[in-house]
Amino acid sequence: MSPDKRRGEATREAILMAAEAVFAEHGFKGARVDAIAEASGYNKTLIFRYFGDKLGLYVAVLKRADSEANELLAHVFAPFLEDEAAPFQAQQLRTFLKMMIQTLFDYFLEHPRFVRMLTWEMAEGWRTYAQISSQFSTADRDQFEALFHRARSSGLLRSDFIPVLQLATVGQICLTYLASLPLYQVLLPQEDVSSVEGLARARDYVVNFVVAGMMADPAETKAGKGS
């Protein structure tokens, strides 16, 4: 990489980091490009040259997080896509669901600014995201749908509810728990909710709760096969 290209990448990264902090603090509507310029150390003219406008910068920040999360999920999906014709076994599905939920929980835990940006979106009715949603990859959704149909056809899932909404609901459960941690700390000061051990317990609870809700009981599976 040439020195100019390295400087350009460093500049772009500094702007994205500053923008992420400002968007997390104020949401899209409340964020000011002046504040992002001041936090990044670069002027607005340069920011607009790189990203076009405030919405373009917002898209770039979200795309970076979306790409990271999709890459992590792709590693989870990969082993279960090796033989698409093979039916799921119960233990195989349980392992997949646990890994998927743990990956989402851990990603949100490690990216609190992303959590705050999504919380702003929820509070504002996802109106900004609705304008830009077509710019984001849907590869993880397609993979989940393929895996879902395999698991459902094997009688291992309770519901045939829309696969992508099941995935979204799992993500929302993880997101809501972590976004609400400050509230839990206020309401339950005697409880250990934010330490490494407390968060590990919470993750295990969320994982077990979701897996139990999604997977059919063995008795249900047998009854379905016998009917």
80 against 219, higher pLDDT: 80
Residues contacting 134, CB < 8 A, separation 6+: none
Q: Express each pLDDT in 157-180 by its tens digit.
A: 999 999 989 989 999 999 999 999
- Collapse the DSSP code of 169 into the 3-class scheme (helix H, G, I; strand E, B; otherwise coil) and give the result: helix
User: Given a cut of 80, is residue 151 above it in pLDDT?
Assistant: yes
- Collapse the DSSP code of 157 into the 3-class scheme (helix H, G, I; strand E, B; otherwise coil) and give the result: strand
User: Given a cut of 50, is residue 227 above it in pLDDT?
Assistant: no
Note the pTM of the prediction, 2 decimals: 0.89
Half-sphere exposure of 97 (CA within 13 A, CB side): 27
User: Given a cut of 70, is residue 87 above it in pLDDT?
Assistant: no
Domain ranges in the chain are: 1-52, 61-226
Q: Express each pLDDT in 106-136 by its tens digit.
A: 999 999 999 999 999 999 999 999 999 999 8
Superfamily of domain 1-52, CATH level 4:
Homeodomain-like (1.10.10.60)
Q: What is the mean pLDDT of residues 180-188?
A: 96
107 against 87, higher pLDDT: 107
Which pLDDT does position 144 carry in this prediction?
Answer: 80
Q: What CATH number does domain 61-226 carry, 2.40.30.20, 1.10.357.10, 1.10.510.10, 1.10.10.60?
A: 1.10.357.10
How many percent of the chain have pLDDT more than 90? 72
User: Given a cut of 70, is residue 202 above it in pLDDT?
Assistant: yes
Q: Express each pLDDT in 1-15 by its tens digit.
A: 677 788 889 999 999
